[in-house]
Amino acid sequence: MENKQEQEVIISVEHVGMQFRMSNDRISSIKEMVTQMLRGKLKYNEFWALKDVSFQVHRGEVVGIIGRNGAGKSTILKIISGILKPTCGTVKRGGNIVPMLELGSGFDYDLTGRENIFLNGAILGYSKEFLMGKYDEILAFSELGEFIEMPIRNYSSGMLMRLAFSIATVVNPEILIVDEILAVGDENFQRKSRARMMELMSGGTTVLFVSHNMDQIREMCNRVVWLESGVVHLEGETAKVCDAYRI
């Protein structure tokens, strides 16, 4: 008999649809767009990025989401994270979420790395006292050393990602939303970030994981949801879904 914890549903996606409206006109300025809107002449194409998507995730599971570019993978992660509101359907969440989708999106480029630890940490919901207690750990993991006192506008993209990843993974969240995060930084840091991800997963964190790397999906996921053109094409045991996707 399966453990009760494994049976507990922590994420429930029910009949979710997401529609985007895209302008059908070639607009060259905001003024022109407003003028066309006021005249009622602005034409739109309606595009459904997701159509009637339903699945559940149980506490402690690592669920992979696969599909080709444009299948709706990043859109469903943003909806589950609360970044986007679906056009229809509902999402129920049973725990605190750390979405690692757009790492460093809350950074202020005029502030130093140290100051951004407290800024970005606050955006993620961490208290100042907590971040002060974790500061040395974040700094050590990021490998930024004395660069932590420099304004981050001087950072390389790799340095920015290392700092953002170090802040985002400093605690053990109940739900972790991951979009191709294991491509962060150089080869050495990728190995370290992957080890950190494995540590979180083995510690009982529920993970939703999008990747185009089928080897990572096979190794890390208990179950896989395959999205195709905005709908759930197949859902089930990892090897079965990955084999069907490859074919």
**Residue 124: partners with Cβ closer than 8 Å, 6 or more residues away:** 98, 106, 167, 168
Asked whether the predicted pLDDT for residue 219 surpasses 60, the reply is yes
Residues 33 and 62 in one domain: yes
Please give the model's pTM, rounded to 2 decimal places: 0.77
Residues 6 and 91 in one domain: yes
Residue 86: the pLDDT is: 96
The pLDDT tens digits for 177-186 are 888 756 666 7
Residues 70 and 115 in one domain: no
Residues 29 and 90 in one domain: yes
Please identify, among 171, 201, 222, the residue that sits at the C-terminal boundary of a domain: 171
The count of domains in the chain is 2
Which pLDDT band holds residue 165 (cuts at 50, 70, 90)? confident
Residue 196: the pLDDT is: 85
**Residue 48: partners with Cβ closer than 8 Å, 6 or more residues away:** 17, 18, 19, 20, 230
Residues 21 and 54 in one domain: yes
Residue 164: the pLDDT is: 87
In a domain, 108, yes or no: yes
Residues 113 and 67 in one domain: no
Nearest to 158 by CA among 134, 125, 193, 122: 193
Residues 160 and 227 in one domain: no
The pLDDT tens digits for 78-97 are 999 888 999 999 999 998 88
User: Alpha carbon of 187 to those of 51, 94, 147, 154, 193: distances in Å?
Assistant: 38, 35, 20, 22, 10
Which pLDDT band holds residue 189 (cuts at 50, 70, 90)? confident
In a domain, 163, yes or no: yes
Which pLDDT band holds residue 2 (cuts at 50, 70, 90)? very low
Q: Report the CATH number that the domain containing residue 85 is assigned in CATH.
A: 3.40.50.300
Average pLDDT for 151-160: 91
Other beta carbons within 10 Å of 15: 12
Structure tokens given for 20: 């985007």
Residue 62: the pLDDT is: 92
Residues 133 and 75 in one domain: no
Residue 1: the pLDDT is: 40
Structure tokens given for 27: 């607009």
Residues 70 and 144 in one domain: no
Are the beta carbons of 31 and 192 closer than 8 angstroms? no
Residue 65: the pLDDT is: 96
Domain that holds residue 20: 2-96+209-246
Q: Cα(112)–Cα(234) distance, rounded to whole angstroms?
A: 46
Residues 146 and 91 in one domain: no
HSE-CB of 73 using CA atoms within 13 angstroms = 24
Residues 31 and 70 in one domain: yes
Residue 4: the pLDDT is: 43
In a domain, 112, yes or no: yes
User: Alpha carbon of 193 to those of 36, 84, 186, 190, 199: distances in Å?
Assistant: 49, 27, 10, 5, 10
The pLDDT tens digits for 13-68 are 999 999 987 655 566 566 665 666 666 666 667 889 999 999 999 999 999 999 99
Residues 33 and 49 in one domain: yes
Residue 93, Ramachandran bin (φ over 0: left; ψ between -120 and 50: alpha; else beta): beta
228: helix, strand or coil:
strand
In a domain, 195, yes or no: no
How does the average pLDDT of the chain come out, rounded? 85
More confident residue, 121 or 54: 54
In a domain, 196, yes or no: no
In a domain, 53, yes or no: yes
Residue 205: the pLDDT is: 87
Asked whether the predicted pLDDT for residue 5 surpasses 60, the reply is no
Q: What is the DSSP string of 2-58?
A: --HHHH-EEEEEEEEEEEEEEE-S---SHHHHHHHHHTT---EEEEEEEEEEEEEEE
Q: Cα(217)–Cα(219) distance, rounded to whole angstroms?
A: 6
